[in-house]
Chains A and B, each alone.
Chain A
């Protein structure tokens, strides 16, 4: 089972929910930190990394001894990653999407591929929890290919928790696509609600069942709760604003460790998700 934890708005508590869920599930679970631009889950779970690998994406390499500057490659490229200027081919590596089209259209066989560094993929363990994260290279624009690599490293025998990046564009989709459940985390404020609505639209587009965690549930107003009810979005957990939780978070501590009364709540959160996923699977089998 793959559960992604997403939010629309940043800073609502995705990482808090993901790491605390992982902590209560222990050896049954693996956590994939797919917020590769700003990965934070390792700060809480403190994993020991056993493997780190450099992740690259293919980009064209031009052999100018074979190139006749016909411009077929630059004409083909949808991303303006190639330009032919006089007797020179310029490759704008950072714009390349690695489709390989230029190499296929080159009539002279003058294009091969080299790599552009996307970032690092790290695999390790936090106690019995398996831990994987990606760290985008600073200056690299494209996170989805690295997110896909993090997901490809998952162990299908474990429950997979994915800590997704904020927003609703391609990096979030890469983190939520083909998961069994999306756990949306928000706060009951106008910003939280607005971005939750966008996230719900994304989840609907992907056709994935979802549920809601409302964090700092007593700040702001009641509109988020009303929205969840109107949308039939099940409210699975509310976490009140508690200065002790905020302070523990600021020190990199998990609430289930600092405030053990929360352990049961996170276990129940998981059981509710499991139930929804099961019902959903049964429903889709019947159909």
Chain B
């Protein structure tokens, strides 16, 4: 193999320092780097060699830790998975994730997401806990596949930056957190759907979603939050019909949970 091709990279990075600034502003950086680099590599070079005061989060450099989400040319992306070769000859505009308060430079405050994630109870809820000594809960590969895709969320929050509903209505619980509720609802080991419905089948929950679909388009882990939310709307509707229109109908959430608990013994 030959030497790596070097290309010129021009970055325009949004800067904000609460100690000194009242407004954010763009700062330009010009550098040369191998074409195989990602935007994060370029930012690291800026920080090491040009401007140590530039701040951003990163860690794994393999698109799994979810730290380095940024707006790159207006698109929510993981900067460790955005290749400079795809932007050759253009200025790369780098901004902090949209819809989150900016702490400093490219660092945003994810508190709202963290709080919402907790609200949807993203953990196994069971009525009866079997002791460890009795072994695993059986789960067939098919039952695993039913929710596996939704368990892949890396909490990078790109979907929140892409979702206009969340931007306009910050009370919206949002794609990733609701998807996590769906992930547990779909898990054959879980009996907590009825509890979660109180949070997710609401106007702040799935019914705030108007199916823009942007969340799924930007998701780096191919989780497809939009599909999770539409499925939850359907189950929420069925719940309502059963409860209100069928004489003697009980909350479907309860029924489903009980069936599942029996299912897996």
Are the chains A and B members of one assembly?
no
